[in-house]
């Protein structure tokens, strides 16, 4: 019989809490809507809601027990602070894990790289690899992902994000990675940083949590490479670079686009070469794949099997998933998030598609005083992608609408509902439609309205 993820006694010991009764949990959740049979429900309290209100719902859905700070008749462990307890539980999960832990961050590509890395490692160690789900990469998501890690996990892969300096320094102390990856540095959350160098410094905080003998993996082609390497130097026993140019420790010798939209890549990994098919389109995905191979190699896993996994990866909802909508329209779903770098990368992917090109582009948020310039600067990539009609969503898209005026068909709308109506009226058989914007714009509703499953 498989051991439970957590017993009431283990939870109490980890959190300095008091168990009301014995119970055993096979999962952990802090969103009552996600609670399943035998899960542990953590009743977090915040400014806008209190998880204790949802205790009845959690137990109706099959919760085995709960972590609470208020009195309840349900099976529970009572603590002084449920958020601190979630961190304690994550810390305890990490402490009992005897395998290899990999941390992933970056301005762009971290979720995609995390999922690709999981697929590559799971091919070698099926059922023994654990990773963060969704984009659970912040101060609540990271401890939750740790707390969900099975006790017999051999490799754990954890995504870490931030939008302020100092946040990654705290998260990486929880994760304590043996291998730490920075995928890329690009303008993102610039409202909170004076420049890109400051973003690089904040991302470089991930190296502070490296375990002794740890490996830092940094992008060779980044203008901030040396800055990242300097950030890693006090903490990493070894730094490995990845990139598309000569000099990188892990580099693409060649990358040829395939008729299927992906790439055939020959990579040099130290003294070895690996040729593989990459299912995902775009040079940004080639870069992601090189970072993945660097981490697989550092973890001592099978590179050839990793290559097979990269060939079989499907697109992630909101991050490159593709489907053919009714009427024979190709939809490229990049609706989850956007910043200037990822906008350019996905527009370059659209440029390679046959047929007429349409783009539904939502505003990019948290760009601060430079927001207008960043939006206007997308005019070049939009035109280079041969976009014949651009549906621009949100007030911040006004500078791009102005920059494109008279150069291609432009429709500037207020919200996702209006965007869906416009693109439905425009799209016809053989068209390729890119949907991309910051998550708060809600362009997943456009994807769903076109027939997607996000």
H helix or E strand, kind and range, residue 412:
strand 409-413
DSSP E strands, 106-167: 129-131, 155-159
At 176, is the secondary structure helix, strand, or coil? coil
First to last CA, the chain: 36
Nearest-angstrom CA–CA distance, 291 and 44: 35
Smallest CA-to-CA distance from 278 within 309, 301, 250, 248 is with 309
Q: What is the residue-wise DSSP string for 265-303?
A: EEEEETTEEEEEEE-S-SHHHHHHHHHHHHHHHHTT--H
CA atoms within 13 A on the CB side of 190: 21
Tell me which residue has tokens 């068909």. 409
Is residue 220 a contact partner of residue 268, using CB atoms and an 8 Å limit?
no
At 363, is the secondary structure helix, strand, or coil? coil
**Category of 300 on φ-ψ map: left (φ > 0), alpha (ψ -120 to 50) or beta:** left
Query: Residues marked as binding?
Result: 106-112
At 387, phi and psi to the nearest 5?
A: -75, 115
Q: Can you list the alpha helix ranges (DSSP code H) found in 328-397?
A: 340-351, 371-376, 379-384
Nearest-angstrom CA–CA distance, 102 and 131: 9
Q: Any bridge partners for residue 181, and if so which?
A: 104, 217
Query: Residues marked as binding for ATP?
Result: 106-112
> What angle do helix axes 303-312 and 283-298 make, rounded to 10 degrees?
150
């Amino acid at each position: 019989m498989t051991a439970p993820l957590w017993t009431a006694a283990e939870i109490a010991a980890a959190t300095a809490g008091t168990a009301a009764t014995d119970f055993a949990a096979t999962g952990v959740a802090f969103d009552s809507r996600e609670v399943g049979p035998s899960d542990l429900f953590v009743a977090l309290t915040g400014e806008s809601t209190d998880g204790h209100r949802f205790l009845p719902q959690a137990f109706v859905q099959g919760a085995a027990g709960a972590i609470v700070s208020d009195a309840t008749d349900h099976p529970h462990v009572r603590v002084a602070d449920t958020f601190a307890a979630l961190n304690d539980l994550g810390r305890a999960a990490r402490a009992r894990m005897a395998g290899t832990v990999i941390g992933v961050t970056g301005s762009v590509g971290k979720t995609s790289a995390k999922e690709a890395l999981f697929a590559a490692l799971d091919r070698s160690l099926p059922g023994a690899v654990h990773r963060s789900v969704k984009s659970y990469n912040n101060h609540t998501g990271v401890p939750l992902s740790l707390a969900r890690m099975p006790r017999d996990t051999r490799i754990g892969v954890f995504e870490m994000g931030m939008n302020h300096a100092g946040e990654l320094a705290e998260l990486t102390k929880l994760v304590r990675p043996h291998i730490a990856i920075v995928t890329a540095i690009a303008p993102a959350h610039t409202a909170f940083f004076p420049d890109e160098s400051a973003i690089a410094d904040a991302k470089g905080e991930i190296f502070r949590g490296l375990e002794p003998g740890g490996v830092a993996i940094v992008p060779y082609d980044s203008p901030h490479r040396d800055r990242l390497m300097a950030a890693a130097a006090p903490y990493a026993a070894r730094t490995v670079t990845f990139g598309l140019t000569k000099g990188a420790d892990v580099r693409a010798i060649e990358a040829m686009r395939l008729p299927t939209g992906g790439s055939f890549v020959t990579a040099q990994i130290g003294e070895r070469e690996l040729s593989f098919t990459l299912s995902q389109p775009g040079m940004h995905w080639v870069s992601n794949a090189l970072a993945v191979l660097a981490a697989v190699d550092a973890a001592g896993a099978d590179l050839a099997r990793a290559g097979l996994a990269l060939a079989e990866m499907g697109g992630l909802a909101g991050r490159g998933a593709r489907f053919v909508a009714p009427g024979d329209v190709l939809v490229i779903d990049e609706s989850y998030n956007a910043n200037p770098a990822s906008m350019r990368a996905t527009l370059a992917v659209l440029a390679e598609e046959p047929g007429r090109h349409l783009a539904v582009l939502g505003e990019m948020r948290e760009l601060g005083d430079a927001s207008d310039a960043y939006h206007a600067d997308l005019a070049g990539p939009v035109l280079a992608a041969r976009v014949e009609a651009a549906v621009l969503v949100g007030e911040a898209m006004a500078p791009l609408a102005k920059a494109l005026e008279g150069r291609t068909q432009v429709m500037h709308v207020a919200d996702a509902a209006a965007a869906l109506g416009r693109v439905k009226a425009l799209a016809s058989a053989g068209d390729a439609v890119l949907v991309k914007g910051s998550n708060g714009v809600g362009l997943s509703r456009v994807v769903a309205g076109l027939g997607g499953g996000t």
